[in-house]
Chain A
Amino acid sequence: MEGQGTEYAVQMKGISKYFGSFCALDEVNLNVRKGSIHALLGENGAGKSTLMNVLYGLYAPEKGEIVLNGKPTLMKNPRVAIQNGVGMVHQHFMLVENFTIAQNIMLGSETTKKLDILDVATVRKQILELGEKYGLAVDPDQKIQDVSVATQQRVEILKALYRGAEILILDEPTAVLTPQEIEELIATLHHLVADNKTIIIITHKLKEIKQSSEWCTIIRRGKYVDTVKVADTTQEELANMMVGRQVSLHVEKSPATPGEVIFNVNGLKVCDHRGIEKVQDVNLTLRSGEILGVAGIDGNGQTELVDALCGLTRANGGTISIHGKEVQNTSPRNIRDCCISAIPEDRQKDGLVMSFTVAENMVLDNYNSKEFSSRGILNLKKMVSHATQLIEQFDIRPAGSEQTPARSLSGGNQQKVIVAREVYNDPELLIAVQPTRGLDVGAIEFVHKALIEQRDRGKAILLISFELDEILDLSDRISVIYDGRIVGELKPEETDEKEIGLLMAGGGGTA
């Protein structure tokens, strides 16, 4: 055995971090054993990303000490962190779109090589070697804009490893991955710890923690709660510790009582910007008071389908009608006026104006309704009180954030802002794309309840999700989409993950 201090790769002692007067971290401790996978669990806004940003030298803490391999280290900036073998893959990737993978991986570390002219061939070789070693296969010559999200993530991990990371931080790496990709990622992580690397992973999915991690540290509202051995703890226990109350991981819902058909998609065809048909002859029918789940692997036409339903792209054929009125190829405004609301897939791109305050974002789609304005003048007071109400109702944290820009909310709380806004509209049809992406279990429970409540009030919900659990839990009927076609219609109580998974992978023959 080595000395006592060196058992741990990372020790963060009594870390406190304030944003203005708001205390994001209050004397938090984190001890990570060398060569282990350590999960960091906490609700949205608990301070996980902040704690990791402190470790990576992005934020200076007000109090506390960081000890790496027994040596107190001052993380002045990310450069120092990298020099000390700490690498981080952020919640939102930081890659240059029109650079190749090799160029992206070299970027930033070329300066450390003094005036040597970069030897691209060597770098390519190193990348391939690293990829081989840890199961992170990439083609170094492809451009970032042409590769999938999962590949981008592999690039981010390779980038950290290339710079000599011994301690790797992954902030919600699985939020953007499909189930298969998640399995691959976890396999890679196991490769890495076998090579004595240390990994800290943030995820809201308890199942993944069980699958991947040895230890788990829980923080709640900026305070340290506990560190537990994952093998000895159940998912329910983890959830309870993190939320501080009993959460049910499965949604309770009564059988649906569907009414008349209110929404109809008939023979819908949508082409992408290159003219390739991404949605081919899709038919969907939705009754009031039911949830239709569309299951499928990312990239099988869901994005184009939703864009057409929301009026963002042209439908190249077919009809979309609500209450018998055709709305295809009208404007997003017109579709919203027909009582259709949508929770977009990409919250930062399509859901929020990041520089606007929470109150401003809460009225993005109805700022000029009678409720918030009269004769073209905004009722700022009403907007703020409206935000206050939704912040309380949807438990958006921190409370009192009406006037803070959306940018400074945690990822999950940004998502809650959008959910609150769209559910508040009380639409006849709610199109919910990945409505719980990045949310903690408590918040997921809440959003699921909200969706079911909408259903029980006689509204229709079109749920599009890459997460099978979510589809199976919530849907009253399931349609599986593969390669732009609906390849199967199932009832959740008569099917299981296996059958749907097979259909999703295109193994169902033609329906």
Chain B
Amino acid sequence: MTKTLEKVLRKPLTGILISVVIGFLIGTVILLVAGFNPGSAYAAMFRGIFSKPKYISQVIINATPLILTALSVSFAAKTGLFNIGAEGQYIMGTLAAALIGYYVQLPPVIHPIFILLCAMLFGGLWGALAGWLKTKFGIHEVISTIMLNWIALYLNNYILSLPGVKKQGAQASNEILTSARTSILWDWKRSDAGKAWVAEHPVLGDILKTDLHWGILIALVAAVVIWFFLKHTTKGYAMRAVGQNPNASRFAGINVNRNTVQAMFIAGALAALGGAVQIMGTNSFRISVLPSHEGYGWDGLSVSLLAGSNPLGCILSALMFAALKYGSSTMQGDVGAPSEIINIMIGVIVLCIALSSIYPMIADSLKRREEMHA
């Protein structure tokens, strides 16, 4: 009995699961203290996630940019870098998408692809800048990326303040051209035939009511590509080596500086991809003046931590993260429990995972205790 428990405690997934359970337990306590019935609150939350196809669809849509920012953070972590800058790189991606989506005219399909490439270039350079500052001047990437986040935010606002960029009467840019959008069946579902079809098909029709777009595919492909890149390519190998031990890498003839800058480029490109995908796929297809950060990059940090920096794990943990956040609004609406409780829960979960080296330690002490009795 203790033996199996001990084994289970040593599995990496266990830490994540236990952390989730602890998160829910603490959420329960808070709900009780605040005078809500935890049962009905959680029921409402899960209803808000699973009860309709369109909810599930919405969760997937919300998870899409998170997968990409989390990938950015995870990739950096695997190469020994701490990318706090996903937020700013994300903004560079949205900027690229909004500007190129509106000012450049290209045929459909080509247009989004061109935007994706440009966004990756923008965000990549933004990330690489932090890498360069690190290799050239020894400025730690945590410091530089935090500053670059703010610079990106103000750059966004500055560009919107330029004459002609803002749409008349709005605090936002013009919508990107339809050729640049990645929505699925956007026009058709608004046509009469489309409306009729939607009414007839409860499941697919319901899904079509959301801003369904191709972004999730891009995110999935990116996750697989990054996983493959790290595990199977020479470049990925070199970047990991440099991240884990720059001295030994240099000694073995690997160019440490170049690989550091390139790794930050890729990390930046991934986060920017998240930004671009979001602008091209979701209503309102434009960027707005930002009073503060939107938080996709910061959430990416949490999601990446949840995933243990595993690229494929980012997919699942982003979905879970998005689901909890989305469900919390129903909880607020139906039961009146403040959605902040979900934020606290997520915070607790992330904190527990950050502490998850504790579970193997518990296993060790279990083992010792058993020996004492033996």
Chain A interface (Cβ within 8 Å of chain B)?
A: 60, 74, 76, 310, 312, 331-333, 335-337, 342, 344, 349-356, 360, 364-365, 367-368, 373, 376-378, 380
Q: Does chain A have a CB within 8 A of B232? A: yes
Question: What 1/0 mask marks residues of chain B from 238 to 282 whose CB sits below 8 Å from any chain A CB?
Answer: 101100110111111111000000000000000000000000000
Task: Say if the beta carbon of B372 comes within 8 Å of chain A.
Answer: yes
B238, B245, B368, B372 — most chain A CB neighbours (10 Å)? B245
- The chain B residues found within 8 Å of chain A, CB to CB, are 232-235, 237-238, 240-241, 244-245, 247-255, 364, 367-368, 371-372
Q: How far is the CB of B374 from chain A (nearest CB, A)?
A: 9
Which applies to chain B's interface (DSSP): helix, strand, loop or mixed? helix
CB distance from A269 to the nearest CB of B (A): 22
Query: Are A312 and B371 closer than 8 Å at their CB atoms?
Result: no
From A76, A350, A373, contact of B234 by CB (8 A): A373
On whether A60 and B368 interact (CB within 8 A), knowing A353-B244, A356-B244, A378-B234, the answer reads yes
Q: How far is the CB of A22 from chain B (nearest CB, A)?
A: 15
Query: Which A residue sits closest to B242, measured CB to CB?
Result: A353
Q: How far is the CB of A32 from chain B (nearest CB, A)?
A: 23
Whether B245 lies near A360 (C-beta < 8 A) is: no
**Distance between Cα atoms of A74 and B240 in the complex (Å):** 41
| Given the contacts A60-B364, A74-B372, A368-B234, A354 and B245 also touching, CB distance less than 8 Å | yes
Instruction: Return the 4 tightest CB-CB contacts between A and B, nearest first.
Output: A333-B253, A365-B252, A364-B252, A368-B234
Q: A364-B241, A367-B238 are in contact. List 13 more A-B contacts (CB 8 A).
A: A60-B367, A74-B372, A312-B251, A331-B255, A349-B247, A350-B251, A352-B248, A353-B244, A365-B253, A367-B234, A368-B234, A376-B234, A378-B232
**Would you list 12 pairs from A and B whose C-beta atoms are within 8 A, ordered by A residue?**
A60-B368, A76-B368, A333-B255, A336-B252, A349-B245, A351-B248, A360-B237, A364-B241, A364-B248, A365-B252, A367-B238, A378-B234
Chain A residues with Cβ below 8 Å from B364 are 60
Q: Do B233 and A377 touch (CB < 8 A)? A: yes
B234, A310: Cβ atoms under 8 Å? no
Contact B251 A342 (CB under 8 A): yes
**Do the beta carbons of B253 and A353 come within 8 Å of each other?**
no
Are A336 and B253 in contact, CB atoms less than 8 angstroms apart?
A: yes
Contacts of A367 in B (CB 8 A): 234, 237-238
Q: Which of A344, A354, A364 contacts B249 (CB 8 A)?
A: A364
The chain A residue sitting closest to B235, CB to CB, is A376
Q: Give the residues in chain A near B252, CB-CB below 8 Å.
A: 332, 336, 364-365
Contact A312 B237 (CB under 8 A): no
Q: How far is the CA of A364 from the CA of B238 in the complex (A)?
A: 8
Cα A329 to Cα B238 in complex, Å, equals 22
Contacts of B251 in A (CB 8 A): 310, 312, 332, 342, 344, 350-351
| A451 to B26 CA separation, bound complex (whole angstroms) | 63
- Complex CA gap A377/B236 in Å reads 9
Asked if residues B367 and A377 are in contact (CB atoms below 8 Å), the reply is: no
Q: Given the complex of chains A and B, what is the CA–CA distance between A378 and B238 in angstroms?
A: 11
* Most B Cβ at <10 Å: residue of A60, A351, A364: A364
CB nearest neighbor in B for A364: B252
Find the B residue at minimum CB distance from A61.
Answer: B371
Query: Nearest Cβ distance between residue B29 and chain A, in whole angstroms?
Result: 32
Chain A residue nearest to B364 (CB atoms) is A60
Contacts of B367 in A (CB 8 A): 60
Min CB gap A185→B, angstroms? 28
Residues of A with C-beta under 8 A to B368: 60, 76
- The answer on a CB contact under 8 Å between A354 and B244 is yes
Asked, given contacts A60-B368, A331-B255, A377-B232, whether A353 binds B249 with beta carbons under 8 Å apart, the answer is yes
B359 to chain A, nearest CB (A): 16
Query: What's the least CB distance linking B303 to chain A, in Å?
Result: 23
Say how far A434's CB is from chain B's closest CB, in angstroms.
Answer: 14
Q: Complex Cα distance A336/B251, Å? A: 9
* Residues of B contacting A351 in the complex (Cβ-Cβ under 8 angstroms): 248, 251
CB-nearest residue of chain A relative to B234? A368
How close is A174's CB to chain B, nearest CB, in angstroms?
Answer: 25
Give complex CA distance A378, B229 in Å. Answer: 10
Report the Cα distance A355→B237, complex, angstroms: 12
Contacts of A74 in B (CB 8 A): 371-372
CA distance A337 to B255 in the complex (A): 14
A399 to chain B, nearest CB (A): 24
